[in-house]
A and B are shown apart, each in its own frame.
Chain A
Amino acid sequence: MKRIDFSLRCWTVLSTVFSIGLLFFLLGFVFIKAQGVISLNFLLAKPAGFPVGSAGGIWPAVIGSLLVTLIASFFATVLAFFTAVYSVFYCRHERIKLVINLIVQCIAGIPSIVLGLFGYAFLVIKLKLGLSILASGLTLAIMIFPFIQIRFQKLFLETNKQLLEASASLGINQSYTIINLLIPMYSKQILSIITLASGFAMGAAAPVMLTGCMMNAPVPKSIASPFMSLPYHLYVLIGQGISLENAYGTAFVLMILVLLLNLLAAVPTLLGMRGKR
């Protein structure tokens, strides 16, 4: 008996250590290898050399990634917010709610590459948006929409029912309650959800590479121009064996950006915890 218990403990502890260790391995691997490459010049220069990317920097890719993430999270947030509000506060039929949930779940299940195909066929070709930041941003918005919607819905469902009843019994209409009570109350959580989702959008390469990403493009001038993005740049650098050092550098920058977003998302919760004590 003792022996089984002991091996069970060993198993659980070892697997936990392994999972936690993985992150440090990933971070350490990229950070150590990227040390020699990272410089202000690498960050701020355009890709150069022949083939393109073997020298120079990644500035347009950084800007492109940030812009497309911004567009994606804007559209996705608007859509997700209203869907969540509708399904929690306004929808009276259980069946419609179930259908909404099931559909959102299905959107969450669509693989990113198929979303990329959709973006390419519908947004780029049918709507004639062309290979552009806007098309990519919209495609990414569809990708992160379920992520945001599910979390918003959970947040709203956990609202204190008494609060809602009190404001309803004061004769305040529901939209006023939502705008003036719920949004200020949850502003921190909402922000942190959006930040997390934008980290997710920033790392996605598959949808972007079909809808507007280029190997070499200048810093985008408008939202209708093609752009460079970090994940795709990394993929091309390593996939075509252009430059291993620059690939490490790009991976490093991408990872730092995503980690930063993750940290930012954690800040409001940490602050909230301190406030409670």
Chain B
Amino acid sequence: MQIFQEVSFLDFISGLTWNPLANEPAVGILPMILATFYVSIVAVLISLPIGIGCALELAALENERLKGIFTSILGVLAGIPSVIYGFIGLLVVVKFFETTFMFATGESILSGGIVLAVMVLPYIVSSATETMEKSYKKYKETSQALGVSKSYMLRALILPNAKGAILTSMILAFSRAMGETMAVMMVIGNSPILPKLLGKGETIPALIALEIGTAGLGSLHYHGLFTAGFVLMMFLIFLNALFYLIKKNLTEHLE
């Protein structure tokens, strides 16, 4: 926190240049903050439709054994280390952009978003399924007695009822995506400029991971990185508290 003796807080989060080692050091992390949000939003937008569809199917699945198998597969998907996602992202997604569309470099916000989308998918599914299953059980007998088809029930009852579940799973996925370091760092290009969808960017976790090793103890650079971490942590703690409170309300509402 000692950094604020030299730079004001507003300058720190709204500055456009990150160059703590220059003669006139500049420590603005706005590009990184924006990139972090940008990548996470792209990731959530990609994975949300798939995740919700999958959750609907799982919630309505009658076959218990099949459901168990699917759930454990998603668990394994969540357990795969992020480095491996980054590794495969680098070799598949980035290469795909480079060879198919002839980009000069495939490392972009979009590829970061795609890799992250795959990573947060299991979280969205498991979080949404939990609530949807409850409402499915609640309405199952009534709608069966009324002779309503399963897909009509899913569309007219479960989906509108699951708005809260979708919201919480979005928040959860968003906070996961923001805090993710390795996978993003490997595919996003890492240059501290304002992010564009097909251009390079650098997220806060990547910034910290890449530069902490070279920052001198107690220097402006070192404090700058810690403060960047602090900013990120504040965002995430806020998101998590939000998630916890909404979820608590939601489960009480359902029971």
Q: Do A and B come from one complex?
A: yes
User: Which chain A residues have a beta carbon within 8 Å of chain B's beta carbons?
Assistant: 1, 4-6, 8-9, 11-16, 18-20, 22-23, 26, 29-30, 101-102, 105-106, 108-114, 116-117, 120-121, 125, 196, 199-200, 202-206, 209-210, 231-232, 234-235, 238-239, 247, 251, 254-255, 258-259, 261-262, 266
Q: Report whether A109 and B84 are in contact in the complex, using a CB–CB cutoff of 8 Å.
A: no
Q: Report whether A11 and B149 are in contact in the complex, using a CB–CB cutoff of 8 Å.
A: no
Q: Report whether A12 and B56 are in contact in the complex, using a CB–CB cutoff of 8 Å.
A: yes
Residues of A near B70 (CB, < 8 A) are: 16, 20
Contact of A116 among B60, B79, B121, B209 (CB under 8 A): B209
Contact of B240 among A105, A114, A205 (CB under 8 A): A105
Given A30-B88, A206-B182: A22 in contact with B77 (beta carbons within 8 A): yes
Number of interface residues of B (CB under 8 A): 63
Given A15-B50, A29-B92, A266-B72: A114 in contact with B233 (beta carbons within 8 A): yes
What are 9 A-B contacts defined by CB distance under 8 Å? A15-B57, A19-B54, A26-B77, A204-B81, A205-B82, A206-B181, A206-B205, A210-B209, A262-B75
Q: Report whether A111 and B178 are in contact in the complex, using a CB–CB cutoff of 8 Å.
A: yes
CB distance from A207 to the nearest CB of B (A): 9
Q: Closest residue of chain A to B85, judged by CB?
A: A26
Q: Closest residue of chain A to B49, judged by CB?
A: A15
Q: For B56, B88, B182, which residue has the most chain A Cβ atoms within 10 angstroms?
A: B182
Given A19-B77, A203-B81: A111 in contact with B87 (beta carbons within 8 A): no
Assembled-state Cα–Cα distance A231/B181 (Å) = 12
Residues of A near B90 (CB, < 8 A) are: 238
CB distance from B85 to the nearest CB of A (A): 8
6 closest residue pairs by CB, A with B: A203-B81, A111-B179, A15-B53, A109-B240, A12-B57, A206-B181
Assembled-state Cα–Cα distance A67/B152 (Å) = 53
Q: Report whether B237 and A5 are in contact in the complex, using a CB–CB cutoff of 8 Å.
A: no
* Interface assignment of B7: CB less than 8 Å from any CB of chain A: no
Residues of A near B75 (CB, < 8 A) are: 262
Contact of B181 among A9, A13, A18, A111 (CB under 8 A): A111
* Interface assignment of B157: CB less than 8 Å from any CB of chain A: no
Q: Report whether A111 and B205 are in contact in the complex, using a CB–CB cutoff of 8 Å.
A: yes
Q: Report whether B76 and A117 are in contact in the complex, using a CB–CB cutoff of 8 Å.
A: no
Assembled-state Cα–Cα distance A3/B79 (Å) = 38
Contact of A203 among B80, B212, B217 (CB under 8 A): B80
Q: Report whether A101 and B80 are in contact in the complex, using a CB–CB cutoff of 8 Å.
A: no
Q: Report whether A114 and B80 are in contact in the complex, using a CB–CB cutoff of 8 Å.
A: no
Assembled-state Cα–Cα distance A234/B50 (Å) = 30
Q: Report whether B155 and A5 are in contact in the complex, using a CB–CB cutoff of 8 Å.
A: yes
Q: Report whether A106 and B237 are in contact in the complex, using a CB–CB cutoff of 8 Å.
A: yes
Q: Closest residue of chain A to B77, judged by CB?
A: A23
Q: How many A-B pairs fall under 8 Å by CB?
A: 179
Q: Report whether A15 and B51 are in contact in the complex, using a CB–CB cutoff of 8 Å.
A: yes
List B143-194 residues whose CB lies under 8 Å from chain A. 149, 151-152, 154-155, 175, 178-182, 186
Q: Report whether A29 and B88 are in contact in the complex, using a CB–CB cutoff of 8 Å.
A: yes
Contact of A231 among B58, B83, B212, B241 (CB under 8 A): B83
Assembled-state Cα–Cα distance A266/B125 (Å) = 20
Q: Closest residue of chain B to A114, judged by CB?
A: B229
Q: Closest residue of chain B to A110, judged by CB?
A: B233
Q: Report whether A13 and B81 are in contact in the complex, using a CB–CB cutoff of 8 Å.
A: no
Assembled-state Cα–Cα distance A5/B121 (Å) = 24
CB distance from B170 to the nearest CB of A (A): 15
Contact of B212 among A4, A120, A247, A258 (CB under 8 A): A120
Given A5-B152, A105-B244: A19 in contact with B179 (beta carbons within 8 A): no
Q: Report whether A109 and B179 are in contact in the complex, using a CB–CB cutoff of 8 Å.
A: yes
Given A11-B53, A109-B236, A114-B208: A19 in contact with B74 (beta carbons within 8 A): yes
Q: Report whether B53 and A262 are in contact in the complex, using a CB–CB cutoff of 8 Å.
A: no
Given A109-B175, A235-B182: A255 in contact with B240 (beta carbons within 8 A): no
